[in-house]
Amino acid sequence: VNIDTDWLLAQAPVLSAGILTADMLNLERDLDAAEAGGIRVLHVDVMDGCFCPPVTLGLPVVAALPDRFVRDVHLMVDAPLSKIEAFTDAGADMLTFHLESTRHPHRVLQTLSGSGVIRGVAINPGTPVAAVAPLLDDLEFLLLLAVNPGWGGQSFIPATKQRLAEARALVEDRPVALGVDGGITASNIADVASAGVDVIVAGSAIFDGSSPSENALSLLKTIVRRPPS
Ligand code: DX5
Ligand code: ZN
């Protein structure tokens, strides 16, 4: 699909479905179900076993996802500079790398400039939000991790609420979407959405072995649209 920051901000809050805990042998069935529940954006967690312990999904999965979905690719890999082009070639619509994964985050963003992809920078729970300030002219998406990267189904770290407020203030009046990833459940999604988050990633709350369509529907119902400013 062809999307840009304006589209993303107009849809906000967007629910991006993390496929890490989907049924990999029946992925198409799970994706169809999620779509029936209102999902348009798929979040793909790429881990290399170095930046964080697990090794997960990679290029073949990104390339295989039906392109009627927005492909929101979250790289948790070391040395992203040498890998980003392969992911844009594979069809990533949003490509997010970690600030902590490279000494040259600004150069990674420069390299992605002009590729048409929505450029995202993610930060771990232990990284000060202000560390992204020098990058704000060169990114379209800022993703705050509410868990330490590695696994689905972890608990939302409470300090994330304050960090989201800080990040909101930082990106205000800029064409930058704010996202949160990790630990989202039916019980905390409304509260998190009220912090003015544009993209909410939910993995195990949607793909939990039961009904992705019902799960997605009930999460989407709960999200309150932020009043226009
Ligand atoms: C954290 C990943 C997240 C996570 C989401 O390592 O980046 O996308 O798997 O899963 P839940 O929603 O289950 O925390
Ligand atoms: Zn993620």
pLDDT of res. 114? 95
Average pLDDT of the segment spanning 110-126? 98
Rounded Cα distance between 125 and 208, Å, is 24
Average pLDDT of the segment spanning 74-85? 98
Indicate if ligand 1 lies below 6 Å from the C-beta of 205: yes
Q: Which residues, 6 or more positions from 114, have their beta carbon under 8 angstroms from its beta carbon?
A: none
Among the ranges given (1-10, 30-39, 56-65, 77-86), the one the predictor scored with the smallest mean pLDDT: 1-10
Rounded Cα distance between 104 and 90, Å, is 23
pLDDT in tens, 142-188: 999 999 999 999 999 999 999 999 999 999 999 999 999 999 999 99
State what percent of residues in the chain have pLDDT above 90: 97
Among the ranges given (4-18, 57-71, 151-165, 215-229), the one the predictor scored with the smallest mean pLDDT: 215-229
Q: Is the dihedral of CA 99, 176, 139, 219 positive or negative?
A: positive
pLDDT of res. 1? 82
Structure confidence at residue 39 as a pLDDT band (50, 70, 90):
very high
Indicate if ligand 1 lies below 6 Å from the C-beta of 46: no
Q: So which residues are the catalytic ones?
A: 45, 181
Nearest Cα residue to atom 9 of ligand 1: 152
Please, what is the average pLDDT of the chain? 96
Structure confidence at residue 224 as a pLDDT band (50, 70, 90):
low
Rounded Cα distance between 83 and 80, Å, is 5
Long-range Cβ contacts of 123-127 (<8 Å, 24+ apart): 123/98, 123/99, 124/98, 124/100, 124/148, 124/149, 125/157, 125/159, 125/160, 125/163, 127/99, 127/100
* Cα 125 to middle of ligand 2, angstroms: 13
* Cα 182 to middle of ligand 1, angstroms: 4
pLDDT of res. 2? 83
pLDDT in tens, 125-138: 999 999 999 999 99
Is 227's pLDDT higher than 80? no
Average pLDDT of the segment spanning 16-44? 97
Which atom belonging to ligand 1 lies closest to the Cα atom of 206? 12
Structure tokens at 168: 């909101």
pLDDT of res. 228? 55
The reported pTM is 0.97
* Cα 125 to middle of ligand 1, angstroms: 13
Which atom belonging to ligand 1 lies closest to the Cα atom of 76? 7
Rounded Cα distance between 91 and 22, Å, is 20
Question: Cis bond leading into 66, ω under 30°?
Answer: no
